[in-house]
Amino acid sequence: MSEKKQIIINCGISHVSVGVFAHEGDGIVLEQVGLETLRYDYSSEELWLEYFIQGLENLCKREGIKGDARFIFPGSLLLTKTIRVPHVEEEKQKKIVAFELMQKMPVPLTELIWDYQVIDDDGVEQEILAFAVKPKVAEDFCERVMEIGLTPVQITPAPVLDYNAMRASGIGLDSGETLVVNVGAKSTNLLFINPTGFLIRPISMGGNSLTQNISDNLGAQFEKSEEVKKNYFSGAVAFSADDPSVQMLEKCSKQFLARLSQEITRSVVTYKRLKQGKSPSKMFLAGRGALLNQLPEFLSQSQRLDIDYFDPLQAITLSDQVSQEMRNLLPFMLSEPVGLAASIFPQQGSETSILTKTINLLPASKLTNLNFKRKQPLLLVSAAILALIPLPGVISGLGESSDLSQQVAEIERTTKTLDNELEGLESKNDTLQFLQYLNTQVRARNEPFEVQGKTCWNLQNLLNLLQSALEHENVTDTWFDEFKLLNPTEALGRGGASRNKTVAIPVLRLSGRYLVRPTVDPKTESQGDLRDNLIQLNSAKQTALTNYLSELTMIKEVRKKTFQTKDKGDLFNRYFTYFEFEIILN
């Protein structure tokens, strides 16, 4: 018995595909799949949505697709950032990530729909991959797809899904470094997989780059050059050996391969620097752009790696309804949908148990409004029917109520005159009482503001001073976990003062951790020498941090300080110390 089916739509730059996945037994079944090629100038980004909707509408009519659907966005429509943050509890993680992204994103974070996931974690720092989309892009997209009978329940970025597809396929990835090259129409996505996580680097060149080069050499329009490219490299049209176009196409192909190889080499060098010399030992090709002639052979020779095509069909079972023609294309167009399906229908096993979570960039508030708009016609018809139900009874009672209406009118005129007089008196009384009440409330509320207005900037100044501590020469590699102003009762209790006193002592509790970088080589020095070196450096950093805080103008006294190299700290294994201060403020 299969679970609820999931419609997954891959929104490509040059094509749109739809797949219907279901979970049967211990596996995932692809029950239905369709593909529609988009025909427009791929170099014009503003045309994409219009032609995508046309292609999706044709595809849904042909395949009979409607209802809830999950959409995979291409990376070219998204903002992507990779950052490193301290390893903290999950509830604190989002605040830290949001703070870091505010510094890195080219657009204010409040003006974006964003989400993130942890892609690597060594216990001290976490590597975060964040995606964002402008609300107008997501909202316009949702409105258009709902017009053709689809309700979006998820918008997720394509670049991260290859990782899930690789894990779900059962390929052993824990023995070394692996590189997946997904060649798309507008960009190429490089996925570096290692035993502890993965790293993504997009390259802004894809199949469109080759088409543009052909267009420039032929002097033809982009659409015509795309058709020539597909006909030649797919073998759909036979070109004469002495056709001058053949030499030009082969030249453009070699230029594309050389440039792509250079970009991959540059990315591998960067990865080796980040991973302290580790580099991929094998490479997989994915995406329809990987069908380019001689691409595996060229990359194998230039990168000196064993190269194979990645087949995402290893992770799923195909229904008998899938045609043979589609089966030949599926390995090159299904890696992202399979990755998303694997996260929706998790399987038992060591590989699929560590699938990364999927990101959702769907504007929830906009979706609620769109659903309401779809129901508006039905609600209006229902309201009209309900309004007409009492109409027959109203008509029959009009004749009987005519005489009563005249009597009521006379009484109402008299009552209205008296009501006007009473209303004038009540209005004056209400105004007087309101003014008295308003005067009392304004006075009571303004008194604390007058006091707080004189000190409201102190906290901001203190935060700025503490922030500068992180850049101080002797206090680097330090981060704060807790910044808490103790309430007067708690402050008096900790200070040992009498609880009968009402004087509020401004006390700050500040805790965090700092790294101690050994100045000797841990691999060559003995444990005793390394330990002595760490103790000496830790002592110096304790003194520097305490002195720095004590010298701040807003700090009156460091009343209590605690340093832990064990328990909350781990000086001799991971080289960090936990600290906690109780500080009396001026």
What would the pLDDT profile of 532-578 be if each residue is shown by its tens digit?
998 999 999 999 889 888 888 888 889 999 999 998 899 889 989 99
Q: How confident is the model at residue 3 (pLDDT cuts 50, 70, 90)?
A: low
Q: 512 in helix, strand or coil?
A: strand
Closest by CA to 548, choosing from 483, 470, 477, is: 470
Q: How many Å separate Cα 478 from the centre of its chain?
A: 27
* Distance separating alpha carbons of residues 200 and 159, to the nearest angstrom: 7
- Confidence check: pLDDT of 445 > 90: no
Q: Which fold has domain 173-310?
A: Nucleotidyltransferase; domain 5 (3.30.420)
The answer to whether residues 134 and 45 touch, using CB atoms and an 8 Å cutoff, is no
Burial class (CB in 10 A: 0-12, 13-18, 19+), 1: exposed
User: What residue ranges in 12-124 does DSSP mark as E strands?
Assistant: 15-24, 27-37, 67-73, 79-86, 113-121
Q: How many Å separate Cα 249 from the centre of its chain?
A: 40
> Hey, what amino acid is at 74?
P
- Confidence check: pLDDT of 350 > 80: no
Q: What is the pTM of this model?
A: 0.61
Please tell me the number of Cα atoms within 13 Å of 564 on its side-chain side: 12
Quick: pLDDT tens for 39-76. 888 878 888 999 999 999 999 999 999 999 999 998 88
Q: How many Å separate Cα 141 from the centre of its chain?
A: 17
What percent of the chain clears pLDDT 90, i.e. is strictly above it?
19
In this prediction, residue 451 carries a pLDDT of 58
In this prediction, residue 554 carries a pLDDT of 83
Pull the structure tokens for residue 465: 């001073």
Query: What is the maximum alpha-carbon separation in the chain?
Result: 112
In this prediction, residue 19 carries a pLDDT of 93
In this prediction, residue 494 carries a pLDDT of 55
* Distance separating alpha carbons of residues 38 and 51, to the nearest angstrom: 6
360 Cβ contact list (under 8 Å, min separation 6): 115, 154, 155, 156
Q: 32 in helix, strand or coil?
A: strand
Instruction: For tokens 């704060």, name the residue.
Output: 480
Q: Pick the residue with more confidence: 399 or 36?
A: 36
* Distance separating alpha carbons of residues 269 and 160, to the nearest angstrom: 21
Phi–psi pair at 307, nearest 5 degrees: -120, 140
Q: Cα dihedral angle (380, 385, 391, 392), rounded to 10 degrees?
A: 170
| Domain range 458-585, CATH architecture | 2-Layer Sandwich (3.30)
The answer to whether residues 483 and 496 touch, using CB atoms and an 8 Å cutoff, is no
* Distance separating alpha carbons of residues 480 and 96, to the nearest angstrom: 11
**How large is the angle between the packed helices 207-218 and 222-234, nearest 10 degrees?**
110
Q: Does domain 1-169+312-388 have CATH number 3.30.420.380?
A: yes
**Domains 1-169+312-388 and 173-310 in one fold:** yes
Q: Cα dihedral angle (361, 362, 366, 367), rounded to 10 degrees?
A: -170
In this prediction, residue 562 carries a pLDDT of 93
Domain boundaries, the chain: 1-169+312-388, 173-310, 401-453, 458-585
105 Cβ contact list (under 8 Å, min separation 6): 79, 81, 112, 114, 132
Pull the structure tokens for residue 583: 């500080």
Sign of the torsion formed by the C-alpha atoms of 88, 93, 95 and 100? positive
Strand partners, 10: 17, 72
Q: 585 in helix, strand or coil?
A: strand
In this prediction, residue 352 carries a pLDDT of 47
